[in-house]
């Protein structure tokens, strides 16, 4: 099973920030198994690199990603899908501990919308389009769409989008909680890179704790979530970065976080 010989990604590193550009223009950045394998092969070592502080995932000006690769799936049987645990490997993406920012221009449909939702921040251009149109293909979202979208935007809008397959524009996606920031189209990547550099400048332990706490809020009851938060808050006092951050504030100077 040879990989797609074409590179499906373009990866660039600028200091602590790594930008991954999905690059399958002939199929509107459809997310094939090969693309995912390439993505994980590239990001796993960077995720383990203490010098890397944030990932930015982006597409082209016209399309973030038009979904899972329909051609790849179309002929598969249920038994094959189950045996391969098709889409199961995406859990490798959510397991990356480095913060991930989706920088979305154009279409984020199906798996593309699900990929954006797997990221920690979504920065979208005014012309971006989001949707879960799988119902039109005779299936349902399969990379977390029914679960994440419902948690992010609520049942009413999730049902609307998933049952009708309609799309929503960036403004609607911003007002319903799918998108962190809506910016002019040409500001998407600059704002994402700026946010990434900001996040990467903070203490790693605090950033990780913050991500894990916020995500825990979607998964647990309030009492357990608050206890989880308080325990991680206490644990951060074991880091040099906590001492440095608080000393710097009191000494009226900028902090120098080291990740220790
Ligand atoms: C494979 C795709 C594709 C996809 C587009 N292409 N999306 N191939 N998988 N998800 C291919 C087309 O077949 C076409 O190939 C080429 O890309 C250009 O597509 P056009 O439609 O001609 O481009 P355009 O007019 O610019 O429209 C862009 C678009 C549209 C609006 C994004 O392509 C579109 O609606 N795509 C499908 C969106 C969708 O249904 N996504 C959900 C996928 S399912 P040729 O060979 O003709 O040039 C999913 C999860 C499924 O994500 C979970 C179930 C288990």
Q: Is 111 a catalytic residue?
A: yes
Helix (H) or strand (E) run with residue 212 in it: helix 204-217
Calculate the average pLDDT of the chain. Answer: 97
Fold of 204-250: Lyase 2-enoyl-coa Hydratase; Chain  A, domain 2 (1.10.12)
What pLDDT does 254 receive? 97
Selection from 125, 115, 104, 112 nearest residue 182 by Cα: 125
Q: Is 112 a catalytic residue?
A: no
- What would the mean pLDDT of 179-188 be, rounded to a whole number? 98
- What would the mean pLDDT of 178-190 be, rounded to a whole number? 98
Give the domain ranges of the chain.
9-200, 204-250
What pLDDT does 1 receive? 43
Which of the listed residues 28, 71, 118, 137 should we mutate to test ligand 1's pocket, taking the one with most ligand atoms within 8 A of CB?
28
Handedness of CA 190, 192, 193, 194 (dihedral sign): positive
Cα 98 to ligand 1 centroid, rounded to whole Å: 29
Confidence of residue 29 (pLDDT cuts 50, 70, 90): very high
pLDDT over 70 (residue 124): yes
ipTM of the complex: 0.94
Q: Residue of the nearest CA to atom 15 in ligand 1?
A: 27
- What would the mean pLDDT of 237-250 be, rounded to a whole number? 98
Selection from 128, 184, 130 nearest residue 153 by Cα: 130
CB 18 within 8 A of CB 41: no
pLDDT over 60 (residue 2): no
Q: Residue of the nearest CA to atom 54 in ligand 1?
A: 142
pLDDT over 70 (residue 4): no
- What would the mean pLDDT of 220-241 be, rounded to a whole number? 98
Catalytic residue among 30, 65, 68, 196: 68
| R_g of the chain computed on alpha carbons | 19
Q: Alpha-carbon distance 138 to 31, whole Å? A: 18
Output the six-digit token pair for 258: 């080291």
Residue 76, ligand 1, Cβ within 6 A: no
Overall CATH class of domain 9-200: alpha beta
Confidence of residue 79 (pLDDT cuts 50, 70, 90): very high
Cα 222 to ligand 1 centroid, rounded to whole Å: 40
Residue 135, ligand 1, Cβ within 6 A: no
CB 199 within 8 A of CB 207: yes
What pLDDT does 5 receive? 53
- What would the mean pLDDT of 89-115 be, rounded to a whole number? 98
- What would the mean pLDDT of 61-86 be, rounded to a whole number? 97
């Amino acid at each position: 099973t040879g990989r797609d010989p074409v590179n499906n990604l373009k990866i660039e590193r600028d200091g602590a920030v790594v930008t991954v550009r999905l690059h399958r223009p002939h199929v509107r950045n459809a997310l094939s198994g090969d693309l995912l394998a390439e993505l994980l092969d590239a990001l796993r070592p960077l995720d383990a690199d203490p010098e890397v502080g944030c990932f930015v995932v982006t597409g082209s000006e016209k399309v973030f990603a038009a979904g899972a690769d329909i051609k790849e799936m179309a002929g598969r049987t249920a038994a094959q899908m189950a045996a391969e645990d098709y889409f199961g490997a995406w859990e490798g993406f959510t397991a990356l501990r480095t913060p991930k920012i989706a920088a979305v221009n154009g279409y984020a449909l199906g798996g593309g919308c699900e990929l954006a939702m797997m990221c920690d921040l979504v920065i979208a251009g005014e012309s971006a389009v989001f949707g879960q149109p799988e119902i039109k293909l005779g299936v349902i979202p399969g990379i977390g769409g029914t679960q994440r979208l419902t948690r992010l935007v609520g049942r009413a809008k999730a049902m609307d989008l998933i049952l009708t397959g309609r799309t929503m524009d960036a403004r609607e996606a911003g007002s319903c909680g799918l998108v962190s920031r809506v910016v002019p189209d040409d500001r998407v990547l600059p704002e994402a890179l700026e946010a990434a550099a900001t996040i990467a400048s903070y203490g790693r332990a605090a950033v990780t704790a913050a991500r894990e706490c916020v995500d825990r809020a979607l998964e647990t009851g309030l009492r357990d979530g608050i206890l989880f938060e308080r325990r991680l808050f206490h644990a951060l006092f074991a880091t040099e970065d906590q001492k440095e951050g608080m000393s710097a504030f009191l000494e009226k100077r900028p902090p120098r976080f080291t990740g220790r």
